[in-house]
Chain A
Amino acid sequence: MYIHEAHAVDGSAPGVPGRFGDHPVIEEPVTLDERKAIAKQCSGALDMSPLRMVVDDMKNTAATAYQAHPDRLYLVAKDGKVAYAGGPGPFGFKPDELEDAIRVELGMEPLEREPADGKRGDGRRR
């Protein structure tokens, strides 16, 4: 889901060259059409196919409800409850944990892997 920009050039936390990588230079979209245009650019540049992207509204409804800014991962179980709640990004953005949660949700065994930092992320429902 595309949400409001983390480091827009005219945002309150603009990207700085060389800090956490070079960010694309993007102005914060101020209309839904602008937001959709940037989302489409993002989806194409990052080659997200075959995933399709959902775009948050200009009230930031989803980003606020999930405290998803700047990035975050969740898994919603079939029963409509949160099965996995990742930590706030970028440091809490852990795709491996989401993958494990998906495997559990689908009745599969988690993959064997070495913890990168010896810790597990918070929010796991197990």
Chain B
Amino acid sequence: MLFPRTTLALSCAALLAAAPPQEEPAKPTAWAFLAKKYDADGDGRITRKEYTRDDEHWKNLDVDGNGWIDEKEIEGRGWQKGKRAKVKPPAAGDAAPDFRLELLPPPFLAEKEKLKKPELVQLSGFKGKRPVALIFGSYT
């Protein structure tokens, strides 16, 4: 995920919270990650029985549909373009679709977060008060 290079966004939407940077953990290969988690008998294969998640995600892993996966199958998967839903996104001048969603607690409250009620933020709550920059992304 990318960042805006401006601090101006801060004046729009962000609530301030100081936090030290965290080191990014070492990245295992996809197979190393899966094998560590699911290859219970350590035979170099993960069967559907060993895999504990749902069928939808299994189908994305077991590309050939033979009921098990190994390093060759996982690391040999080619690039596939992500699917995009055919919904028209809002354009400039349109009313911004509203949402009411949970705000992650600031890092310094992380240990206490379970003691607190989720903090919600609603986009329309900023209407008439300030502009809001929306930066969408994921970790991958």
> Do A and B come from the same complex?
yes
Interface of A with B (CB < 8 Å)? 1-17, 19, 22-28, 30, 32, 36, 38-57, 61-85, 88-90, 93, 95-96, 98-99, 102-103, 105-106, 123-125
In the bound complex, residues from chain B placing their C-beta under 8 Å from that of A68 are 89, 134, 136
Interface residues of B (CB under 8 A from A): 1-6, 8-12, 14-25, 27-30, 32-34, 53-54, 57-58, 60-61, 74-75, 77-85, 87-97, 99, 101-104, 106-107, 110, 121, 123-124, 126-140
Give the distance in Å from the alpha carbon of A82 to the alpha carbon of B91 in the complex.
Answer: 7
B90 touches A85 (CB 8 A): yes
> Whose C-beta in chain B lies nearest to the C-beta of A18?
B79
Q: Is the CB of A89 within 8 A of B137?
A: yes
| A15–B80 CA distance with the chains assembled, in angstroms | 9
Q: How far is the CA of A54 from the CA of B80 in the complex (A)?
A: 28
| Residue in B6, B87, B126 with the greatest tally of chain A CB atoms within 10 Å | B6
A79 to B123, CA, bound (A): 12
Q: Which chain A positions have C-beta within 8 A of B78?
A: 16
Structural contact, B11 and A106, CB atoms closer than 8 A:
yes
CB within 8 Å for A38 and B139 given contacts A19-B79, A50-B17: yes
Do residues B106 and A52 form an inter-chain contact, with CB atoms below 8 A?
yes
Out of A24, A27, A56, A61, which one reaches B57, CB within 8 Å?
A27
- A42-B131 in contact (CB<8A): no
